[in-house]
């Protein structure tokens, strides 16, 4: 059964973004990725055209951050050879014949990179995404450049139509499973290694309230949860993002002196993004913790931040949540593990604090 699922999963990217400029590169650095491989035509530039200066600048910044960067294209070498001249450290591989793997394997070998530490970015699911998924890379599909002229516009349109056909037939369960996949699964909030996350640059922890910090309809937090929140707020910013407006939220705001956001309408991201902007935090500096896949984890993934799923404290919850639990059980077998922040030795963490 798992082989069948993996076969149908091959054209489905791990993420879908508008362009290469929307990729949260710092987040991938924290997650342990060290290599980015880009397609060229319609990913970095319109078909047959040269890349713009902002792409050149992006490459230089990525290399300065310590990433290994390559361009692997199915096109001819003459189209991309000037990139190596303009960007020191950039590798270029042409006539790759993706979704064939020969050239991609050669690129990984020459850069001394591992597939599970590599992100592949492209605009075509039937070449870039399939090839990356076959090798076990983290795949990102970006929207193709619209193209110039009737032929190129038609090609870009056919690509979008083809992807939508796949998505709305067998692909949508896999895409949904990606959107609700957490980076970590924990039993409860006390199992999370907060110090390790802080040592990797996390500056804010955003908690759900009902059945994450306290039981549904509880008037307050128990002593153990309150102590955890109070101690954590001394090391990082702490906030509660709740879809409800229960009395426990007012109690938490008074006793823990933390930011509380009511009626958040998760998985809508507006209030979460507003909270991040309020404190000037990037996507790599925020972690969302909650007990529901279709609200807490989904809002985190839509906002592009790290997510941790905990088990609900009790079985008591509103009827609508019970419906969502049914969908959680349905989609859970399809969820593929996501990259997570590696645990560092306690001595390293203490060294960071010094």
CB 196 within 8 A of CB 340: no
Same fold, 2-179 and 184-353: yes
User: Taking the domains of the chain in order of start, what are their residue ranges?
Assistant: 2-179, 184-353
CB 35 within 8 A of CB 69: yes
- The CATH number corresponding to 184-353 among 3.90.1150.10, 3.30.2310.20, 3.40.50.1000, 1.20.58.1880 equals 3.40.50.1000
β partners of residue 186: 310
pLDDT of residue 224: 94
pLDDT of residue 63: 97
pLDDT of residue 352: 62
Which fold is adopted by the domain 2-179? Rossmann fold (3.40.50)
pLDDT of residue 248: 78
Q: Please tell me the total number of residues recorded for the chain in this structure.
A: 354
End-to-end CA distance of the chain: 50
* Strands across the sheet containing 306-310: 184-186, 306-310, 286-290, 204-207, 237-241, 259-261
Q: Which helix (H) or strand (E) holds 184?
A: strand 184-186
Count CB-CB contacts under 10 A for residue 214.
23
Q: Give pTM, 2 decimals.
A: 0.83
pLDDT of residue 49: 84
- One pLDDT digit (tens) per residue for the chain, 354 residues: 567 777 778 889 999 999 999 999 999 999 999 999 999 998 999 887 889 999 999 999 999 999 999 999 999 998 898 898 899 999 999 999 999 999 999 999 999 999 999 999 999 888 999 999 999 999 999 988 876 556 666 766 777 787 778 777 878 888 899 999 999 999 999 999 999 999 999 999 999 999 999 888 888 888 999 999 999 999 999 999 999 877 778 888 787 778 999 999 999 999 999 999 999 999 999 999 999 999 999 999 999 999 999 999 998 888 888 899 999 999 998 898 999 998 765 555 555 655
CA atoms within 13 A on the CB side of 67: 28
Count CB-CB contacts under 10 A for residue 172.
12
């Amino acid at each position: 059964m798992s082989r069948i699922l993996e076969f149908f999963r091959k054209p489905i990217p791990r993420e879908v973004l508008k362009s290469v400029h929307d990729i949260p590169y710092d987040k991938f650095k924290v997650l342990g990725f060290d290599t980015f491989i880009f397609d060229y035509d319609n990913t970095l530039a319109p078909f047959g055209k040269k890349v713009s200066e902002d792409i050149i600048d992006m490459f230089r910044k990525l290399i300065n951050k310590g990433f290994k960067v390559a361009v692997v294209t199915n096109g001819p070498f003459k189209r991309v050879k000037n990139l190596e001249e303009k960007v020191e450290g950039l590798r270029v591989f042409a006539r790759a014949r993706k979704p064939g793997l020969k050239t991609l394997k050669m690129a990984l070998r020459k850069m001394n990179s591992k597939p599970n530490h590599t992100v592949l970015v492209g605009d075509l699911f039937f070449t870039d995404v399939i090839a990356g998924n076959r090798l076990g890379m983290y795949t990102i599909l970006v929207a193709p450049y619209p193209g110039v002229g009737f032929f190129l516009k038609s090609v870009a349109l056919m690509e979008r139509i083809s992807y939508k056909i796949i998505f709305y037939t067998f692909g949508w369960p896999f895409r949904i499973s990606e959107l609700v996949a957490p980076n970590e699964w924990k039993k409860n909030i006390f199992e999370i290694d907060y110090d390790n996350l802080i040592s990797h640059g996390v500056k804010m922890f955003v908690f759900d309230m009902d059945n994450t910090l306290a039981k549904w309809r509880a008037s307050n937090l128990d002593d153990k949860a309150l102590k955890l929140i109070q101690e954590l707020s001394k090391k990082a910013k702490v906030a509660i993002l709740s879809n409800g407006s229960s009395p426990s939220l007012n109690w938490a705001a008074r006793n823990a002196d933390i930011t509380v956001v009511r009626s958040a309408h998760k998985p809508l991201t507006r209030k979460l993004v507003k909270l991040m902007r309020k404190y000037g935090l990037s996507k790599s500096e925020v972690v969302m913790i909650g007990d529901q896949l279709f609200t807490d984890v989904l809002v985190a993934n839509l906002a592009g931040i790290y997510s941790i799923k905990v088990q609900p404290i009790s079985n008591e919850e509103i009827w609508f949540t019970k419906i969502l639990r049914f969908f959680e059980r349905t989609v859970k077998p399809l969820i593929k593990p996501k990259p997570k922040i590696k645990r560092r030795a306690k001595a390293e963490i203490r060294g960071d604090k010094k």
